[in-house]
Amino acid sequence: MKTIRVGLLGLGTVGGGTLDILQNTLPEIQCRLGQTIEVTIIAVRDLNRARSVDTTGIQMTDNTQDVVTDPDVDVVIELMGGTTLAKELLETAIKNGKHVVTANKALIAEFGNELFSLAEQHNVIIAYEAAVAGGIPVIKAVREGLAANKIEWIAGIINGTGNYILTEMKKPGADFAQVLSVAQELGYAEADPTFDVEGIDAAHKLTILASIAFGIELQFNKVYTEGISKVTAEDIRFASQLGYEIKHLGIAKRSEEGFSLRVHPTLIPKEVLIANVNGVMNAVMAYGNHVGPTMYYGPGAGAGPTASSVVADVIDVIRAQHQPKEDRVPALGFKADQMQTAPVLDIDAIDSAYYIRCFAKDHTGVLAKVTALLAQSNINIEHLHQEPCKQNRDDATLVMITDETKESNLNQALIALQALDEIVGDVMRIRVDSLGA
């Protein structure tokens, strides 16, 4: 039985999970593959650190170049993270004729266009299933399983930390700061949670999903990104009363004008399945013109789930390595010469319905003034709710759901609304999406 030799960059949580699978599930893998896989070299930062996995018989090094230049290594697995050293190492591996498997969403989203081009030149494969949604095989599902469809939109809960926080904020007495602290204690959130709660992590993943869904180049710098730190428990309560859940979504849609790529809190109708995805779980919906709406659900992080996708990619690479280039599944689902440099719309150009929450002085005629102001911008109110403000009984809380309108129209209306003497504090705006409901 032929042996495929693998070099591993990084032996952290996912790296350890990957080695564990390759050691303990090898008989099953051999039956699927007809070949065996051996990890022969691993690069780590600290050679003296205790390991939770057995590294007996494996060459350990603190020199990452040893892995990517080793002539006996067939496949390099990159699980280090970051975009500087990781990029340099993958370029070296590719130039040395080695196939690459990575879980590095930032690297793919920001530098994937050039890395895939380099891999094409050197006739090697870059596989990256684990870069999006952990253990959910969503890359293969969208890129290959939906290949018969023109995908109209794709949307997902693709960051478990943000989803956990919004789920926990539904509990009585919870607020953002308190729940974030608990998430950090449980290891769901980093000490610096910016990438998760401000949507950067999700934006990296959405960049990749949009590319494979629409056949457009990776354009991370054009993704509109908004976090969840301004969402309050009151917003979650009001949304629920109106029949919605608030989720931190990545949404990519095609239109006649171009494509919208955006990450932001979103009100979703409760009857939509993805609205009921809670805790640290991930889910992705894709709408194809023939199949309609589909959804993919599962754990988006963790040693076992993410390593499962890593090893599946290794198996795929081994199966495909001897195929002619033109017969392989393209890295982003479309032939390289067919990828579009398509326009990505500014957020002001999108159409959406909106949730608006503000505090107003509880005086006669204030509600009429607010609704008239919105009407002047051709914004219709679909639902309106008013109740006394908990913080100040002299004020009222106004909550509105608008019909769909252009974001630029709403922005003008909110500026005028904020300028009213009767409005107290900041006006909150959250986009609403039915996701086909």
Q: Which two tokens stand for residue 380?
A: 């219709």
Which residues are known to be catalytic?
Answer: 205
Cα–Cα distance, 410 to 351 (Å, whole number): 10
Cβ-contact 251, 153 below 8 angstroms? yes
Q: Are strands 259-269 and 244-254 parallel, antiparallel or unpaired?
A: antiparallel
Exposure b/e, 275-289, CB count within 10 A at least 16 = b: bebeebbbbbbbbbe
Cβ-contact 36, 30 below 8 angstroms? yes
Cα–Cα distance, 165 to 145 (Å, whole number): 32
Nearest to 229 by CA among 262, 186, 260, 200: 200
Give CA angle at 200 (79, 155), nearest 5°.
95
Residues 378, 379, 384, 386, CA torsion sign: negative
Nearest to 303 by CA among 19, 5, 6: 19
What does the DSSP assignment read for 141-181? IIIIITTTS-EEEEEEE--HHHHHHHHHTTSTT--HHHHHH
Cβ-contact 244, 269 below 8 angstroms? yes
Nearest to 287 by CA among 156, 153, 158, 141: 153
